[in-house]
Structure 1
Amino acid sequence: MDRAIFIMRHGETEFNTQGRYQGQLDSPLTEHGVEQVRQMARLLRYSVDQSSEWRVISSPLGRALQSTQILCEILGYDFNKVETDSRLSEVSVGSWSGLTLKEIEQDWANRLTGTTMYDWYFHSPDGESYEAVQERVTDWLDSVSSYPQVIAVTHGLTSRILRGVYAGLTRQETLALEVSQSACFQLANCTIKRISNEFDEF
């Protein structure tokens, strides 16, 4: 197999079910989230070339590491060999961490004026900018360029921007990319392939 990067988002968390934006806060996986990870791990087991060298790299945030541990159990990969990399962490939304959109609108309505459903995250008064996240995921992609195969466990917004950088997409195109907790993405040969067992994939 040619060099490939497999991108997996963590499973559903308790904050996800409450509509709370986690940023770099943490929240444990729900039972459904655990099953989502198991499903994605089974997909990856058949997608990764087991005869070739491969690594697992995870965001250091708890929900990603919890997902990574489940992934390793199914793949038969030693969790102690997992590398953590803060460049895969979720986008920081600063003071908005742990809040719902309604709560944010109540206290920071002026910050959301003129934003879209895709880019309002980057208008937090003390959160990360799109450009800062783009820079760190670009740096991460460069750092793994010599690895034959990588499974990266990351987060929704970070996954979007990472895939957008890889594909050379505009900011608007990048932020419109799918965010899924039931599918993985394979980056290889300058293309992005969605890996899922959903019926629309067959």
Structure 2
Amino acid sequence: MSPLVYFIRHGQTDWNIEGRLQGQADTDITERGRWQADRNGRKLAELIGRAEGFDFVASPMRRTRETMERVRAAMGLPPEDYRTDARLVEVHFGDWQGHTFVELEARRPGSTAARSKDKWGFVPPGAQGESYQMLLERVRPWFEALERPTVCVAHGGVIRTVFRMVEDMPPRQAARLEVPQDKVLRLADGQLDWL
């Protein structure tokens, strides 16, 4: 059984608005994303106060680091006092990164059909492309090593893998799971709840 963990997805980015596949492209959060991060920090302050004994960890991407720093500031904590873990970076979309599905289809009709059939197992073209299953295998060692209460700021794909690991959510359902940017996900006693 894992310890108490609060997961937060990074705040909104321009690429989220445009429907661009961000993956491991290093993008920044918008003003709305900053509001979301501040809101989640205030929510965490209500839930856990100053978080005595908690570990704070984020993906090393700019959008997750800024989100974490805003969360900590909203909690009344030193913004930079957290660590990063490269295993928490988003799934890599390979050659598709930076494009919308409309753009991909316009360049090569039918190119996204295989992903629609098996979004969890699909590996985008390009040497660095990853499937959600590959992402899960990258995240699992980090998740299984958790020993103390933790606040984690990561990405939608990472949070989808958590649902697979904790609830054994079917791959098709996990791949299509909406992951809000303005809510906190709590893992307690083997159960996940959006707050």
- The TM-score, its normalising length taken from structure 1, stands at 0.86
Instruction: Write the deviation string for residues 67-101 of structure 1: whole angstroms up to 9, x where unpaired.
Output: 11111111122333311011111110011111111
Alignment partner of 2:125: what SS?
A: coil
1:82-93 correspondence runs (5 A): 82-93=82-93
Aligned to 2:138: 136
1:53-72 correspondence runs (5 A): 53-72=53-72
Q: Matches of 1:34 and 1:79 in 2, distance apart?
A: 14
> Is residue 52 of structure 2 the alignment partner of residue 34 of structure 1?
no
Identity percentage of aligned residues: 28
Q: Matches of 1:156 and 1:117 in 2, distance apart?
A: 20
Q: Matches of 2:56 and 2:87 in 1, distance apart?
A: 14
Give the CA deviation at 1:130: 2.4
Alignment partner of 1:99: what SS?
A: coil
Q: Matches of 2:166 and 2:187 in 1, distance apart?
A: 8
Query: Is the Cα–Cα contact under 8 Å of residues 59 and 154 in structure 1 kept in the other structure?
Result: yes
- The TM-score, its normalising length taken from structure 2, stands at 0.89
1:116-155 correspondence runs (5 A): 116=116, 119=119, 122-126=122-126, 127-144=129-146, 146-147=147-148, 149-155=149-155
Specify every segment of 5 or more residues in structure 2 that has no aligned partner in the other structure, as ranges.
none
Q: Matches of 1:49 and 1:39 in 2, distance apart?
A: 14
Q: Matches of 1:129 and 1:154 in 2, distance apart?
A: 17
The 3 A distance-change label for structure 1 pair 170 and 23 is same
> C-alpha root-mean-square deviation of aligned residues, in Å?
2.1
Query: Is the Cα–Cα contact under 8 Å of residues 28 and 63 in structure 1 kept in the other structure?
Result: yes
Specify every segment of 5 or more residues in structure 1 that has no aligned partner in the other structure, as ranges.
196-202
Aligned to 1:78: 78
Query: Is the Cα–Cα contact under 8 Å of residues 111 and 124 in structure 1 kept in the other structure?
Result: no
1:191-202 correspondence runs (5 A): 191-195=191-195
Q: Matches of 1:135 and 1:115 in 2, distance apart?
A: 19
Query: Is the Cα–Cα contact under 8 Å of residues 58 and 83 in structure 1 kept in the other structure?
Result: yes
